[in-house]
Structure 1
């Protein structure tokens, strides 16, 4: 009788917790650029993209605002470019319910410079290999500021902080490629493929010497007929060298976030766990 009474009490507790515990999906989060969030029409435009592309109920999705100050902390140090609060438009939805691999869907009608492959390459540089990310903007934007929001979203969902050195390396990769695309007119997909292949070779050979990385890039450029300047090559070599130099921090972060993904939970309320607890009383175990 005592076991049944406790089980009934537990079921009552479940009934009380479900409305609160399931008010939001802890594996989903939106990061809005502050310009977008401040304009109701802009926000509605972005929300429509997320609903149509991801098929989610935004009423159950937590959101955060990415400010110009947050973006400038990274972009200013890398490119010397600073943005006003009226220029942070790019927004992203992270869905970690789909965590078998890393996928990025970019609204190509609005994001003009950064491609899905660029985001994937930069996120992998940060040790992120799972989740589905959707990126858009209410009006045309380069997409550079979205990376800050995406990394912030991963931190929020997994409750694991990305080391600053890793954030800087991943951000430098995005900003460097975006600058080359904008200034040199090189095909973004070709550039992204080159960076990904060169990083893979550098990692495989454990290359840390700048001149060696430059030679690897030059060989790739010549073999694949990619038209970039010597300055572009140097900047890419600096970026890839920085990624290589923070691999210790990347691996440390990756170990922690992989543990979260393998557990398949965000560390919050677990209905399955509570139901198992109830069953243990009913079965007399």
Structure 2
């Protein structure tokens, strides 16, 4: 079981980067705090304590419920958005190739991996993000807060389509996680990301078969509703440009190659998945073979 979970985490980290939009150049060390507009003064003090910051030392940005709804209405159930903005974030930009580090506190719906994937999809990179709330909340306001903070740091808006796609990814993955678990939900999303240039030419029924095969290969049981959710998200993800993934993949090569999947190397793990999927199409087998060679060198 631990080997499976560790392998999923490695694949999630690896294949999420295949779908990134161009990333904005940002100097390391930039910091922002975003606060939910409905926090009390006592709760704001608690947030700064959680972030280990002194108020006034870092630029502060407010996130309102209207802004949250602008991103997530129609994607997130109303009960998840709620009627107030609570979850808050502290973001600090990091050196190039550092990736995205996410920690959460009192967030009961969005996991760290789900935040990380959504941020990468939107084009956020090389950042340390702390998400917190004074009591248990879904964490939907935090995604809007991260976008606002990152745009304030760069002075440039993130691609609107990418933000919308990332929001849908966060929502769908979170909903899947409620039924199949966070690790499996994240893995399925990233499995699909790496073959999007092929799925866009598939019919929904052909894509359905691929999804079922991917799930079966990992002993994941999907409901028909799950499958339809994944098909819908795949069609949305296809809107993004995935042509420039090579550099991002190679950036992770050293880290991924040194990791071990419970005693097995990355190459063996990827080649094993390649064997499982070889029957789907030559295209899939070629992708896994190429990646296996990359990490085997």
Q: Shorter-chain TM-score: what band? A: 0.5 to 0.7
Q: CA deviation at 1:161?
A: 0.6
Q: CA deviation at 1:106?
A: 2.2
Corresponding residue for residue 187 of structure 1: 181
**Mapped partners of 2:121, 2:58: distance in 1:** 27
**Mapped partners of 2:152, 2:114: distance in 1:** 22
* Residue 151, structure 1, aligned to residue 147, structure 2: yes
CA 1:206–1:228: 2 relative to 1, 3 Å? closer
CA contact (8 A) 2:91 2:129 kept: yes
Corresponding residue for residue 267 of structure 1: none
**Mapped partners of 2:141, 2:234: distance in 1:** 20
Match of 2:58 among 47, 58, 61: 61
* Residue 27, structure 1, aligned to residue 27, structure 2: no
Corresponding residue for residue 256 of structure 2: none
Tell which deviates more after alignment, 150-159 or 225-234. Answer: 225-234
SS at match of 1:227: coil
Map Cα deviations across residues 115-155 of structure 1 (whole Å, 9 max, x no partner): 11111111121122321111111110122221111111111
Q: CA deviation at 1:58?
A: 4.2
Map Cα deviations across residues 230-261 of structure 1 (whole Å, 9 max, x no partner): 1112112211321221328x98xxxxxxxxxx
**Mapped partners of 1:116, 1:227: distance in 2:** 23
**Mapped partners of 1:208, 1:72: distance in 2:** 33
CA contact (8 A) 2:188 2:214 kept: yes
CA 1:40–1:194: 2 relative to 1, 3 Å? same
CA 1:217–1:40: 2 relative to 1, 3 Å? same
Corresponding residue for residue 235 of structure 2: 241
**Mapped partners of 2:183, 2:44: distance in 1:** 29
CA 1:233–1:50: 2 relative to 1, 3 Å? same
* Residue 223, structure 1, aligned to residue 217, structure 2: yes
Map Cα deviations across residues 203-231 of structure 1 (whole Å, 9 max, x no partner): 5x474545244333221211112233111
CA 1:125–1:210: 2 relative to 1, 3 Å? farther
Point out where structure 1 has 5 or more consecutive residues left out of the alignment. Answer: 1-24, 252-285
CA contact (8 A) 1:35 1:85 kept: no
Give the CA RMSD over aligned residues.
2.5
Map Cα deviations across residues 57-109 of structure 1 (whole Å, 9 max, x no partner): 543211111111011112213245274543x211111101444322233224x
SS at match of 1:60: coil
After TM superposition, the score normalised by the length of structure 2 is: 0.65
CA 1:214–1:61: 2 relative to 1, 3 Å? farther
Q: CA deviation at 1:164?
A: 2.0
SS at match of 1:59: coil
Match of 1:72 among 65, 69, 73: 69
Matches within 5 A, 1:35-184: 35-36=38-39, 39-51=40-52, 56-79=53-76, 81=78, 83-86=81-84, 88-108=85-105, 110-182=106-178, 184=179
Paired residues in the alignment total 215
**Mapped partners of 1:73, 1:166: distance in 2:** 15
